[in-house]
Structure 1
Amino acid sequence: MKFYKCSCCGAIIATVIAAALALALPVLSKEEDFMPNQPDAIPSFLIIGTAKGGTTDLFAQLTAGVVNLDPDRPDPPFPHKSVKEPGLLSHGATVAAEMLPQKSHYMEYLRLLGHPCSDATNGNFQECLAANATKQFTLDATPTYYFHVLAPLYLRQLSSLSKIIMMIREPVQRAEVLYGHYVLAEGRWPDRSIDDLANDFFKAINTDNGVTAALQRAADCSSRDVFCLANSWRDINGLTLMDTLENKLFAGGLYNYALAVWRYHYFRPGRLLVMDSHAYFDRRVDAMDKVIRFLYGRPMLPSEQTLAASGGVWRKVAVRAVPKLILSAPVRQQLSEFYEQHVMRGLFQTLMDMRDEGAWMFGFNGERWNECPGFEEFNAATKSMH
């Protein structure tokens, strides 16, 4: 049964580059133009996106010893023991003033990233950076960053030129898989089905006048009005709706609004790759080829290609399909209509704007997208560039 007006079961993406940062350059030269990595970018690379969207697998593809320590690797390696999800940029105790160079949270972030200067003293910190900047890359991979209001602001204090990979999956399936993860991996909600949580979420957004008004304001924003979208997400994020994990399970799928803060404050041409999670899982070799070209500006090494083709997927927990974990047809329909209004509408216009502004993309040309408005125009333009 099909619930979306847009048949988007493969994945959904709604990330964008700040309109104020758009440059009047030809699309082709911007989408595929490799931007050099900055030695002083902290972190060098950042993987953000929805939980259960492939961030763990991509992190492993980039840091596994077989590729990280490959003697044929022409790029600096990552730390020997990279830590996924340090999460400092979205930590509740993080203080903006302490994110400045050599302040306490800044140095803690260096330590979590495995940066060689995390133990440097005030006297030799600058010398350490100068000596080690080109010897090692750092990588942060944390799903919570993409919907956190302050994360892009904190990152901008650290570095304005870190490269970002966004990974987004279709929002209804995202909710199901994430719910299953919490139930099976963490033992949450033993007596409550996903239908129960979804019904409570709809009750919360339909009976709270403040939530209803905030969502309507967000829905009324143009996909090109980044300021409006960013302010709307700030308002939504400040509501009691976002106080519980149960509501975040569904509100976290509001990609258009949540990512507008990143779009407004941080994204730069040539330094953002937007990826459909399902396309990544289905075509991982092709996806990793895109990732490697985006990050390093070169073709894949044999070791990278072999790892990508291995077939294994790094997951924290295998999610089993049992009735409690699956939405019923009526609730799935209701959730689909909610995301149709707040996520799906204008999707390909957003993607086209992003591409014009210099974003790299992967995974939006499959048949599961072919009923979405703008699909043909978007992909016709893509074909004309090659």
Structure 2
Amino acid sequence: MPALWPILRRQARRGNLNASQVFSLQRAFQQKPNWKRLDRWLKPLLTEAVRADDRQTAILQTGIWLRQMREFERAHHCLDLLNWRKARGQAFLQRGLVLQQLNQIDAAQKALRRSCRDGSSFAVASYHLGLLHRSTGEFDQAARWLLRSLKRDANPAHVHTVLQYCRCSDDMLRPIVRFYEQLHRRHPERALPLQQLSLYQQRQGDLIQAGKTAQKSVRLELGQRTSLLADEDLAPTPPDFLVLGVPKGGTTSLFAWLREHPQIWGHPRKELHFFDGDYHLGEAWYCAQFPRFQDGSGILRGEATPNVFSHPEAPARVTQLIPDVKTMVLLRDPLERAVSWVQHLQRLEGLEGSVESWLSQELESLQSLDADTLARSGRIGTGALQDSLYDIHLQRWRSSLPSSQQLLVISSERLFSQPSPQLSEVLGFLGLDSDPEPWMQAWVARNVNPGRRSTLPKSLESELRAFLQSHCQQSATETKESPVGWFE
């Protein structure tokens, strides 16, 4: 880069920089960032130093870079430099994404709708419109945009995932079911259309057909494992392992990585919410969600529903149905997890009110309860603090599982800071070769809140940490996280 500086300087003075050279400047800036200097030279650089025929590209590229750097105000000011009369769909898409981060919802909708006029950006812009409506609690409207995105491009699995978490009305279920029926007819070899169709048949109340559809879907796209399937006439069986939780603790990342292992079949929908919500659907429905392999195949099957860990009735339900099941729980700094959960609800479900107000209200309610009442209490507020009372939930699972060797407690912090030894421990716990290296390239942090962590008043934060510390002593020990690490 030092050798390029004289060249770039001469090009800039002549107004002859191109977009590729601006990208080189961005990479150099990241090595030694100075935002005050950037604020001074960014506008003249983009409007005077870049040649006219490359200016739109350079401005848009810089706006995208700033958005990725989470500098949303700066990205907004940068995109304002575009000639919007000549702007195309990608520019309006980026504008909408930035405006959404700045909480300018109406303006973001307008920009994303404008982006949809460009066929090349329609699928992505429709997806983000779906996310935007979901974030304001408009689930039917969100589902309509997500369906439009999928009708243009049905391949991205994350769009199907977002759609399944929209709490749609009964009327909205009908077009979704039609869409997945049509998608299955076009791609009968694919598992995903049938997996999703089964979900929506269940939501319509057609449990028998939902079970049949699910049982058919889990026998698709198994690759070489197809030859290890048991006879189709044999009754399905429950899974071999469960990832119990906690919400915003890293279960999505861990489960996605486990699914890459050739000796593991992980449910494509990840969260079935059987033991914590849909237990009434019955054992047959639940078992139908998993393929049955031949005895001795060595294939382990599992699912991950983060809310199961804190559900009062889940341990007894799990041990009754799967007495020899292996279970794992990821535990994260309890306050950081609680804050992240409220922010998650704000971002994805339109939860109103500040993080501070929710946590202070929940703290006030919980502090008045004794230990026995806390263990039996129903959901209070968002449940953010209750899900972080780890010792209560951990004791319930320890008491219910037949053997202490059936539960592995993992530190979320160490999983993400030192993934290899933690993943090795997970594989060993499951009885597999404990060397994770062949699959380490598949390890990615997923489902991370994109916004900054909300700042709490120091007095409230201290009070919250003291309360949570009194309910997380055993958990800190089991995760090998000293109380100082979580509660300093």
For this structure pair, what is the TM-score category when the shorter chain's length is used for normalisation? Answer: 0.5 to 0.7
Which of 227, 236, 239 lines up with 2:374 in the alignment? Answer: 236
Kindly state the Cα deviation for residue 338 of structure 1 after the two structures are TM-superposed: 1.0
Q: Find the aligned partners of 2:319 and 2:303 in 1 and give their Cα distance.
A: 14
Counterpart in 2 of 1:87? Answer: 273
Q: Name 1:146's counterpart in structure 2.
A: 309
Which of 390, 393, 396 aligns to 1:255? It is 390
Q: Which amino acid aligns with 2:386?
A: A
- Find the counterpart in structure 1 of residue 250 from structure 2: 54
Kindly indicate whether residue 288 of structure 2 is the aligned counterpart of residue 111 of structure 1.
Answer: yes
State which of 343, 368, 373 in structure 1 corresponds to 2:485: 368
Q: Is the 8 A contact 2:420 2:436 kept in 1?
A: no
Q: Is it true that 1:335 corresponds to 2:464 in the alignment?
A: yes
How many residues are matched?
254
Tell me by how many angstroms 1:294 deviates: 1.5
1:90/1:332 Cα in 2 relative to 1: closer, same or farther (>3 Å)? same
Distance 1:56 1:339, change over 3 A: same
In structure 2, the residue matched to 1:34 is none
RMSD: 2.9
The residue identity in structure 1 corresponding to 2:361 is D
Structure 2: distance between partners of 1:186 and 1:202: 22
Task: Give the Å deviation of 1:264.
Answer: 0.9
Deviations 1:325-374 (A, max 9, x none): 33221110110111122323x556x64xxxxxxxxxx65379837x99xx
Give the equivalent residue in structure 1 for 2:411. Answer: 276
Q: Which moved more, 1:53-62 or 1:180-189?
A: 180-189
User: How many Å apart are 1:153 and its aligned residue?
Assistant: 1.1
Residues 1:156 and 2:319 aligned together? yes
How many Å separate the matches in 2 of 1:165 and 1:158? 17
Q: CA deviation at 1:318?
A: 2.9
Does the C-alpha gap of structure 1 residues 269 and 297 become closer, same or farther in structure 2, counting only changes over 3 Å?
farther
8 Å contact from structure 1 (residues 49, 167) kept in 2: yes
Distance 1:365 1:249 in 2: 22
Structure 2 gap segments, 5+ residues each:
1-229, 231-235
Residue 388 of structure 2 aligns to a residue whose secondary structure is coil
Q: Which has the higher helix share?
A: 2
- Give the drift of 1:184: 1.5
- Which residue pairs with 2:331 in the alignment? 168
SS at structure 2 position matched to 1:89? coil
Contact 2:423–2:436, Cα closer than 8 Å, also in 1: no
> What is the rounded CA distance, in whole Å, between the counterparts of 2:380 and 2:237 in structure 1?
34
Alpha-carbon shift at residue 56 of structure 1 (Å): 0.5
Report the counterpart of residue 424 of structure 2 in structure 1: 289
Aligned pairs for 1:1-386 (under 5 A) are 42-64=238-260, 67-68=261-262, 75=263, 77-78=264-265, 82-91=268-277, 93-95=278-280, 105-112=282-289, 114-116=290-292, 131=294, 134=297, 136-189=299-352, 192-205=353-366, 212=368, 214-215=369-370, 218=371, 232=372, 235-236=373-374, 238-239=376-377, 242-246=378-382, 248-266=383-401, 268-300=403-435, 302-308=437-443, 312-315=444-447, 317-321=448-452, 325-344=454-473, 351=478, 363-364=480-481, 368=485
What letter matches 2:450 in structure 1? Answer: V
For 2:364 and 2:404, locate their aligned partners in 1 and report how far apart those are by CA, in whole Å. 40
Tell me, in whole angstroms, the C-alpha distance in 1 between the residues paired with 2:434 and 2:475: 30
- 1:163 maps to a residue whose letter is K
**Aligned residue identity for 1:151:** A
> What letter matches 1:277 in structure 2?
S
In the TM superposition, what whole-angstrom CA distance separates every residue of 1:31-64 from its partner, at most 9, and x where no partner exists? xxxxxxxx99832111112111010000000003
Q: Is the 8 A contact 1:280 1:363 kept in 2?
A: no
Given that 2:327 and 2:406 are in contact with CA atoms closer than 8 Å, whether structure 1 keeps it comes out as yes
Distance 1:279 1:268 in 2: 25
AA of the residue aligned to 2:451:
R
In 2, the alpha carbon distance for the partners of 1:256 and 1:57 equals: 24
Paired residue type of 1:204: S
Residue deviations 1:304-341, cap 9 Å, x none? Answer: 23323xxx3111x533116xx33221110110111122
Question: Equivalents in 1 of 2:483, 2:415: separation in Å?
Answer: 12
User: Is the Cα–Cα contact under 8 Å of residues 168 and 275 in structure 1 kept in the other structure?
Assistant: yes
Which has the higher relative contact order, 1 or 2, with Cα contacts under 8 A spaced 6 or more apart? 1
Unaligned runs of 5+ in 1: 1-38, 69-74, 96-103, 117-128, 207-211, 219-231, 352-361, 373-386
